Structure 1
Amino acid sequence: MSSAIIQANNLWKEYGDNVVLERLNLQVMEGDFVSIVGASGCGKSTFLNLLLGNERVTRGELLLDGQPLPQEPSSERGIVFQKYSVFPHLTALQNVMLAEVFEHSGILVRLFGRAKQQAEQRAQAMLAKVGLAQAAQRYPAELSGGMQQRLAIAQALMKQPRILLLDEPFGALDPGIRKDMHQLIDQLWQERKLTIFMITHDLSEGFRLGNRLWVFDKHRHDAQHPERYGAQVTFDIPISKDNYSEALGNNLPMAAQTCFAK
């Protein structure tokens, strides 16, 4: 049976007088795929940074397995950005090996002997998993946009995280390539039992990939002081592969109006 992996209890995030998120009370089960939509500036990326450990909660609490979430990034949480987060001076294989390199050798940034051989084998297997087996010795500049994003996903999954954070990962891709990436992410989610949080500006993408869709928006507004109130999750829409069309048809107009009609 699935258990809660992430809980937010009366969570607030503020920067001085600017309230970004307020009164978040959320529970995410292990294995959930949460698609996150909302207008620009409504706190979606801030929430992802809280999950990653790059930001700290101002008030309330954010729990991982019932304990305060570590206030720094860890191998349990991988992230993929819209802008490909790979190193241009390293080959695809070397990029994927980086997680092992940093873990084992610190500032030396090298692996030797058997440790290097094992890391290469794991990296090759990960590249094969994302369809880049034949591109191991190519540099990012020699890869298409879709291939670079596959590489970034392989890099994020190398340390076998339990939680995968996706910050508009397919926004810069052509429609055909995006469809291929949807299939890849869905396959990885099913096979690895990942818990995924994905920010997207494409509502149909959010409905298609997730089993829950969150709409971030503000319940309260002050035209004179817009920074006074923060965003909350105003809709938490359950989705399944069986009711995808029904969920999209019933909820898309409301969600679209809430998110983008401002």
Structure 2
Amino acid sequence: MSFVSVTDIWQAYGDRSIIERVNVDIDEGEFISIVGASGCGKSTFLRLLLAQERPTRGEIRIDGGAPAVEPNLERGVVFQRYSVFPHLTVRENLIAGTGFQTRFGYLRGAARRKAVEDADEMLLRIGLNHVADQYPASLSGGMQQRLAIGQAMAAKPRVLLLDEPFGALDPGTRIQMHDFLMELRRETNMTVFMVSHDLEEAFKLGDRVLVFDKPRWDPHDPGAYGATVTYDFDARDGGMPFQSILERYPSLASA
């Protein structure tokens, strides 16, 4: 049985269809890259996976469980802009991630001491132990994004959702973040969904690359039909090479 099961998902806002007929099965530990033209439902699909939105039709199940009605600790999310708390120190941002698992959202006594120990261990792993007492505004872009990923990981999610997480970073920092993410993935075996506008990045990091596009198009009413998964590429060793994909489907170069 697949770990993440997406069955006949449709999403519409009013009379505007965004995505339709999306069916995908994902094994635990897979890294799924999601690409496609702007406005074709990639971020909407991510919000549905997060359970930030509920689909108009269909269902999403994780490990055979009931469809979620709201975001929960099974799912961690990192956005393009650093989704951390600016009023908390670097260490406190990670402690907050642990606190979210409690009934009232905060920690005291032995539980807080354990959370501090865990936070310091995570900071060492993500290379931010030397700035533990600083605030996010004092950090570089790459460091802030490391913090955002560390904060998401502190809650020990089974599924990590990334929405253009490296789009605002310089090329050198971006490569460092790729290596960092893949290291965390190997250590945790978490399942990852990443939306990216960078096709090369999508094939570099992903086991599979899902392409969202509109197979039906009405020139008189562009919003009449939604997007769906039009291609599901195997990007692992032995899969179709990146350049061969571009030669076969040149339209993806502008995805």
TM-score, length-scaled by structure 2: 0.95
Q: Which residue of 2 aligns with 1:232?
A: 228
Q: Note the C-alpha offset of 1:103.
A: 3.1
Task: Say if 2:39 is the partner of 1:31.
Answer: no
Q: Which residue of 2 aligns with 1:45?
A: 43
Q: Pick the aligned partner of 1:65 from 43, 63, 66.
A: 63
Aligned residue type for 1:8: V
Q: Pick the aligned partner of 1:248 from 237, 242, 253.
A: 242
Task: Say if 2:213 is the partner of 1:217.
Answer: yes
Q: Which residue of 2 aligns with 1:144?
A: 140
Q: Pick the aligned partner of 2:177 from 172, 176, 181.
A: 181
TM alignment of 1:52-201, pairs within 5 A: 52-104=50-102, 106=104, 110-201=106-197
Aligned residues: 255
Q: Note the C-alpha offset of 1:67.
A: 3.3
Cα deviations across residues 46-96 of structure 1 (Å, max 9, x unaligned)?
A: 000000010001112222223332111111100000000011111000011
Contact 2:142 2:177 in 1 (8 A): yes
Contact 1:84 1:148 in 2 (8 A): yes
Percent identity at matched positions? 49
Q: Note the C-alpha offset of 1:252.
A: 2.7
Q: 1:162 to 1:255 in 2, by over 3 A?
A: farther
Q: Note the C-alpha offset of 1:258.
A: 4.0
Could you list the runs of 5+ residues in structure 1 that have no partner in the other structure? Answer: none
Q: Which residue of 2 aligns with 1:8?
A: 6
3-state SS in 2 of match to 1:160: coil
Could you list the runs of 5+ residues in structure 2 that have no partner in the other structure? Answer: none
Q: Distance in 2 between matches of 1:159 and 1:233?
A: 30
Q: Note the C-alpha offset of 1:259.
A: 6.4
Q: Distance in 2 between matches of 1:199 and 1:7?
A: 18
Q: Note the C-alpha offset of 1:114.
A: 1.0
**Relative to total residues, which structure has the larger helix share, 1 or 2?**
1
Q: Distance in 1 between matches of 2:250 and 2:72?
A: 34
RMSD over equivalenced CA pairs, Å: 1.6
Cα deviations across residues 208-256 of structure 1 (Å, max 9, x unaligned)?
A: 001000110000000111111110111100011x347x52121134455
Q: Note the C-alpha offset of 1:10.
A: 1.4
Q: Distance in 1 between matches of 2:124 and 2:164?
A: 24
Structure 1 moving runs of 4+ over 4 Å: none
Contact 2:9 2:20 in 1 (8 A): yes
Cα deviations across residues 140-190 of structure 1 (Å, max 9, x unaligned)?
A: 011000000000000000011110000000000000000000000111111
3-state SS in 2 of match to 1:228: coil
TM-score, length-scaled by structure 1: 0.93
Q: Distance in 2 between matches of 1:35 and 1:49?
A: 15
